Each structure stands twice: as C-alpha cells, then as structure tokens.
Amino acid sequence: MLYFSKRFVCKSIFAFFLFLSLSGFSQDKAEQAIQNMDKNFPQEKVYLMFDKNSYAAGDNIWFKAFVFDGYSKSNVSTTLFVELYDSSKKLIDKKMLPLYNSEGNGNFQLADNLKENIYYVRAYTIWMTNFSEDFQFMKSFAVYNPNSPEKLIKNDNADWSVSVFPESGTFVAGIDTKIAVRLQSGGTLPKNWNGYIIDKDKPNAHLADFESFDQNVGSFFMTPQKDKQYQVVITDNNGKNQKIDLPQVAESGINLQVKSLADKIEYQIKSNNIADESGYYKIIATIGNRFVYKARIRKNSNDEVFSIPANQLINGILQFTLFDEKENVVAQRLCFIQPQKLNFLKPVVQSISKNLNPKSLNSFDIKSDSNIYDVSVAVYDQSKFNQKENILSAFWLTGDFTDTIEQPVQYFSDNRNTDALDALLISEKWKRFNWKDIISGKFPVIKNQPEKYISYNVRITSNGAPVKNTNINLMFEGDKSGSKLLTVITDNNGDLSLKNMAFYEPQKIYYQLNADNPDAVIIPKVSFVPLKKELPQSDFILVKRNPNDALTSEASLAIENSQFQKKLNEKVTDIEEVKLIAKKQSPTEKLNDELSSPMFQSASETIFDFVNDKSLATGSPDILLWLEGRVAGLQIQRDGADVDVLMRNKKVDIYLDEVKTELEILRGFNISNIAMIKVVKDDFFGGFGNSNGAILIYTKNGNTGSGEVMKSMTGLKFFILKGYDKPDFYKNIFYSNDSLKNLIDNRINLYWNPKLPLDQSAKVEFYNNDSAKQNRVIITGFDDEKQLPVFSDSILN
C-alpha cells in the first residue's frame, strides 16, 4: 500500500493499493511509531554554501545558509547559529542569523594574525540540538598565513580503512548477493583502487575481481557457500593494500534485494533454509521520517519480484525495512529514488556578453519560469575552483548521513554513476531513528523548543522584589529620531515576554513604571549551545615551516587573493570617503526618515514616494488597484467580496501609519491621501518576526516621526537587547574606476551575491580577473511552491 503526503510528494496524489495477502498482522506498532516520528520529531538539516574552498588570514568567509526539513523547506526554525572553531575546538567567533523563508547569509572576518591551520564552521538550529550532534553541519577549511611558524600540507600518505557491506546486511549461503566495499581515511583517499575476492583456504585463486567506482566505493556480486570464510583484498594506485574478512556465511536466512530503475523500484526477498515458510513478512518503506509504503509478503515468495511506481515518489533516500510477524527487523536496505532523473529547477543563463581580456566587463541574464523569489549567484575562475558539495548533494545525501563522503557532488552531476550511488547507500545506515527504540516507545527527549525569531524574558524588580501584574510603558529607541511606545503587563512572577522580534542592531528599550529603584533582568530564551563531540579529522597535517619553504599552489593562491582584497578595500575606502563628502540625502530618503521609525525600516524595503514623485498618484484612485502589478511577487487575490494581499503566496500584514490594519479599512482608500508606501519583503523589528513581509502605508496627516516621545523619555532607565549579527556588505569589484586597474588581480571568486532578486529574470555584471580563460557560474536556490532545489552549474560560452 502506498501512502502519500502533499508536503512530500509534489505530484498528483492517487490511491494505489498492493495487496499480497488478505491476512493481517496482529500488531501495527511500527506504522504508529514512524507516524509519531513524522508528526512530532521533524529532522532539520543545514547546508552552507561558501564563497571559496580555502582562505588566508585576514579574509572574510562568506556563506549562504539553507535549512530543510526532510525534502522541503523547514518551517520549524527561524534562527540559525553559526560558529567558527580552531583545530583545538576553541570557539573563535559566532553568529546568530535570522532565517527568512528558511534562508540566511553571513560572514566571519578572520584576524590578520590567525595562525595557519585547519578551522571549522558549525551550523545548527536550536531544534537540531535535541538530536545527535552528528547531524549538525560541520565543514573544515584551510586558512593560510605565511608568517605562521607551521604550515599545512596535504596528508596524501594517510592510512585508509576498508569495510564490506552485503546488501540488506545479510550474507546467506546459496544466495547471489551484492557486496559494497567502502574506503575511509583521516587523510586523502586514493583516487583509484581495485580489489579481488578469495577463499581464505585458497588465497591464490581469485573468485572475482572488481574496480572501484570512485574514491569511496566499489561493488561486486558473489554467491557464498556455507562453511567458507571469504576475504577481500584491496590495492590502491600507490600500491598499498589491505585485506579484510567478509562476514561469516549464514546457513539460513533472507536477503532483501532492491533495484532503483527509471520508472519503478523493484525489490525481491531471497531466502534459504527458512524453517517455517508459512506466514508473512511485513515490508515498510520510508522517506526520511515519512511512511510511504507497506506490503505483506508471504515467506515462500522467493521468486516473486515486487515493484513501487517511482513516478509517484520524489527524489530522495528510500529506506526499506523488512519485519517478521513479531515486528523484529530482519533486513534493511537504502536506495535512491530515480537517480537516473533528478528533479530540480535549472535557471537559464542567457544573453551572455563575454570578454576574457584582463579586468573586462562581462554580463549575463538569469531567467526562470518558476516562482523563485531570489537565488544565490557565484562566478568563478574555472581553473581555480573545485566544488566538492552543492545544494543537490546536501539536500539528497550528506545532510542525512554522518560518515564522511568524499566529493559527494559527483553523485548528482551530469555524468554521475548511478551504480556508485547505489553501492554507497548499501554501505550506509539510516541513523535518524532506530526501529527497535521507537517501536518500544523510546523517542527523542525534547529539551529545546524553537522560538520564532528572537524572544526574551524580562524580569522587572523594585528594590529586589518582582513587580507583578503591573502595566509598564516600553519605548523602543532607534538609531535615528524615531521611536515607538508599547504598553505591556508583567505576569505573576514579574516577567514580561518580548517575542518574535527580528532586528540587527542592539535595541535600547526604556521602561517607565511607578516603583522605587526599578531594575530589569534580561533572560534570552534561545542561545548558543556548546559543542560536545570532537572535531572531525582533516586531510591536512601541520608541519614546521622552514625559512626557504615554497608555498603550495593552494596556499599561494589564497594569499594572493587575500592581498588583492586588502589593496582593493583600501582603494575602495578612499573612493567611498570622497563620495561620502559630496553625498546629500535624497528627498525620498529624507521623507523615509521623517515618516518611518527605525523599527519600521528594512534593508529589503521598496519605497514609493508620492510626495516627491507626483506621477505615482496618477491612474487608479484606489490604493489596492494601484498596488496590483506595481511590486514584483505581490498578488491581490479576490474571492467575491474577500480580498487578500499575498507575497510569495503567503498573506502579508498591512500597516497604516505603523499601526497594523485590517485590509477592509483600505477599501476605497483614496490614493491622494498617501504620502509614502513601503513594501518590505523580509522581517523588520516592528513586525516582530513576520517573515511574510508587509505593506506600510503612510498618510499625509499621519506619522511624522516620534522625536517628541523620545524627548519625554529622557532620564528613564533602560535595558539593551542584542539582535541578530548583521552580515557585512560584500563588495563586488567595479573596474570602471581607473584607479583600480593597476591592481594585480588573481581572484578565484569573480562575483558573489547570496540574495539576488530574480522575479523570473535578473541581470548579472562582473569583471574578469587578469588570467581567467573560462568563467563558471553557479546558481543556487529553492522553489517554495514546488519544493524543489534550484541549481545551475555552467561554463559561460
């Protein structure tokens, strides 16, 4: 029987029943347990995309973050914690970032005197801390510094280990079985290796020979015989070899065999010497924590092949679990659904203007027919960049596994080997849950609940005693003249809660009440959680640096890039200082400062200035009709008398003079009364964490700033709330300025934008370095409506 969910299967839902027996099981604990896991224990995973593979001391590490729940965007968490560690697990820096639509971006500024070594970036949500740390995001980086007393070198001669995995975990006499062979190492894995199988009693006779698929895995078939002990001998391209025993051959048992084809997934139960062939097995298939398929199979159905239609499932890891009649796990097998056909959205790169001369201007357009609000775009010098992971490999593979997988991007490239991916999954085990535990009722203990954006408890005291059930006036001060008043009431403990806030700069909040010696104790509801486990091994080692040692090519490139960036920043700073002297505030900027308080200002706002641009008021006199078609991604949805305003297919809030307003009030509202309209597509402090954005309407007789309120609060006590860590601004080089053209440009990254508005099309302009002969464009994102990754990796031609 197939089970589907709209959230999980983005296709037509249909009813499909596969009955292999009219007899049922007396227990259904497994189904109940997995449904409990799905409902109450969503499994978040994080992917961070970085601007480069390695860095030098003094560099910025730039990153874009995506948070998923299984195979869709997560709606669990709105805050991401990102930490930077050195190789001794010392915390160097940490960032708390807002997640808008399950995405965020940020950066770490490395110190100029940072020692050359391997450093680690950890990323997680508070919800993820309820589960194993092994599923949190962790990535290592080489950071180079020629002034360090030690240097990094690749650990190319590291030992490697080999493991063997019979399909479904059983090795039964007389059953032709697929065996996966997996290599792992604390250093660099050999690029090529091969192996052969021997009977331990006859070591000179090869029973089978095979070649590796890639650095990670290879596979072979064999039919074991009872009372035999088999071994696999592996030899790498450097002549190193290892020998490992295969599991003991079982005289009786079953083997679950699976084939993932383009149109279906076939599975077969092979058995030998089963004492009682009456009765049934139960097989359950899950995608993540989601129950999607169940069947009852007779124990004597040894030659039957069963199938599941793959076109009704999504790409992803499917786990087959075979149970006996007492719901004991008999065999398990992982496979990938439709590896031959990966379902993701690929934006089109077109209208290419290409010039490979040094420091020349290049451009291209990005076009997509899907409802994609924004994408991340990076352009690289192809000769200097090697991508080991991307959103596809993280979304479909590494985000759900804890073992190191070398070059996971290869399993989802255009020239991918589907047999290699299948062998890799035979060698893996699903660790998100354990069937025995959840069937017995042992579920994860939830200690940390997610809060929507930033939340604080503030305890108000007077002479040390809590001020209970009392009205308190709060005033939020911004960095300009504006401010906002808010009246709240403390609870029985003297606490008040400030919830769902999204802001960057620290907020000074004044408070007023009739009490002696009032004081405020700030208690954040969500904070960083220390890392408990040890850091993973790296494929580099640290050795003493001698005075005449030459830099490796990777170190030299990273240091040259860093030196170029420092010189560029110095020149750009000089240019910007000159511009700043001459810059005057525009009439629209001045109007925005006058009308909107800091709580209602956002970096993502679009301003329509009706005071200084008289042409805006022409056309329809009705404000709703005027808004329609003016803002990309904004929809006015009508259903008879009901009207909704949507952004990215979600309702947005309406504010009139910074007071939240029902849409009904705007019916027939004359546009001649409007001074300014702002459309905010992300969160802002005044919205208290409304990630769907807002439309802010300012009337000509409405808010004119709150400077007078601010003056009245002078002398009152205050407390300060720390907000999110605001990312620095990434400066893409602009060579139209002649003063920059004498710089020696050896950049790896030619363009970086973690959040390029798309709205079906966008234009990208970038300047070449001094040597690039091929430019590589990587576009990354996620489509909310179709719940599919957005990805394109192409060479500009």
- Residue 333, in any domain of the structure: no
Whole-number Å distance between alpha carbons of 662 and 151:
63
Tell whether 682 is covered by a domain. yes
496 within some domain: yes
The reported pLDDT for the residue numbered 54 is 92
Last residue of a domain, one of 223, 245, 267: 245
**What local confidence, expressed as pLDDT, does residue 465 receive?**
87
Q: Look up residue 218 and give its two tokens.
A: 């290879």
Q: Give this prediction's pTM.
A: 0.85
pLDDT at position 690 is: 55
Mean pLDDT for the stretch of residues 148-165: 92
pLDDT per residue as tens digits for the range 413-429: 999 999 999 999 999 99
The total number of structural domains in the chain stands at 3
- Are 608 and 692 contained in the same domain? yes
Q: Give strand ranges (E) for 86-223.
A: 91-98, 103-109, 117-124, 137-144, 150-154, 160-166, 177-185, 193-199, 202-211, 217-222
Look at residue 26 and tell me whether its pLDDT is greater than 70: no
Q: Which of 524, 542, 563 is the last residue of a domain?
A: 524
**Better pLDDT: 449 or 739:** 449
CA distances from 122 to 95, 125, 172, 727, 745 (A): 10, 11, 42, 17, 31
Spatial contact of 482 and 706, defined as CB atoms under 8 Å apart: yes
- Specify the length of the chain in residues: 797
In a domain, 482, yes or no: yes
Q: Residue 309 pLDDT more than 90?
A: yes
Closest CA to 239 of 302, 301, 172, 157: 157
More confident residue, 590 or 390: 390
Q: What is the 3-state secondary structure (H, E, C) of 273-321?
A: CCCCCCCEEEEEEEECCEEEEEEEEECCCCCCCEEEEHHHCCCCEEEEE
The pLDDT score that the predictor gives to residue 598 is 64
pLDDT exceeds 50 at position 317: yes
Residue listed under structure tokens 């808008």 = 100
Dump strand ranges (E) for 530-581: 540-544
Instruction: Compute CA distances 410 → 216, 397, 500, whole Å.
Output: 11, 11, 41
User: Which of 22-36, 164-178, 328-342 is least confident?
Assistant: 22-36
So what's the pLDDT on residue 256? 95
CB 344, CB 790: distance < 8 Å: yes
Query: How confident is the model over 262-269, as a mean pLDDT?
Result: 94
Token duo for residue 489: 């009431």
Nearest to 541 by CA among 153, 273, 166, 128: 153
**pLDDT exceeds cutoff 60 at 576:** no
- Structure-model confidence comparison of residues 654 and 306, the more confident one: 306
Q: What is the mean pLDDT of the segment spanning 679-691?
A: 64
pLDDT value, residue 695: 86
The CATH number of residue 164's host domain is 2.60.40.1930
Q: Which domain holds residue 186?
A: 160-245
Pairing outcome for strands 72-73 and 150-154 = unpaired
The whole-number average pLDDT for the span 4-12 is 39
Q: Point out the least confidently predicted range of 417-421, 629-633, 702-706.
A: 702-706
> Does residue 290 sit within a domain?
no
Per-residue pLDDT at 81: 97
Around 86, how many Cα atoms within 13 Å sit in the side-chain half-sphere? 11
370 is a domain residue: no
CB count within 10 Å of CB 147 equals 10
Residue 27 pLDDT > 70: no
State the first-to-last Cα distance of the chain, in angstroms, to the nearest integer.
Answer: 49
Q: What is the pLDDT of residue 241?
A: 92
Determine the pLDDT at residue 214: 96
Higher pLDDT, 13 or 189: 189
* pLDDT tens-digit series, residues 332-346: 999 999 999 999 999
Task: Kindly indicate the confidence band of residue 351, based on its pLDDT and cuts at 50, 70 and 90.
Answer: very high
For residues 546-562, average pLDDT: 92
Q: How much is the pLDDT for 482?
A: 46
The answer to whether the beta carbons of residues 159 and 124 sit under 8 Å apart is no
Residue 721's H or E segment, with its range, is strand 718-721
441 has a pLDDT exceeding 90: yes
Report pLDDT for 356.
93
Q: Tell whether 283 is covered by a domain.
A: no
pLDDT for the residue 603? 59
Stronger pLDDT, 197 or 569, i.e. the higher one: 197
The confidence band for 621, taking pLDDT boundaries of 50, 70 and 90, is low
Mean pLDDT of the chain: 85
Q: What is the pLDDT of residue 580?
A: 38
The domain boundary, picked from 245, 275, 294, lies at 245
Find how far residue 616's CA is from the centre of its chain. Answer: 40
Residue 314 lies in a domain: no
- Predicted confidence at residue 715, as pLDDT, reads 60
Instruction: Report the pLDDT averaged over residues 104-127.
Output: 96
10-14, 123-127, 692-696: range with highest mean pLDDT: 123-127
**Partner residues linked to 508 by β-bridges:** 477, 720
- Does residue 479 register a pLDDT over 50? no
Alpha helices, H only, 90-153: none
670: DSSP letter: B
pLDDT tens sequence across 499-532: 878 788 788 888 877 777 778 888 888 889 999 9
* pLDDT value of position 467: 86
What local confidence, expressed as pLDDT, does residue 247 receive? Answer: 96
Q: Write down the pLDDT at residue 9.
A: 42
Residue 597 pLDDT grade (very low, low, confident, very high; cuts 50, 70, 90): confident
Q: What CATH number does the domain containing 676 carry?
A: 2.170.130.10
| Pairing assessment for the beta strands 137-144 and 54-56 based on DSSP bridges | parallel
Six token digits for residue 685: 């402090």
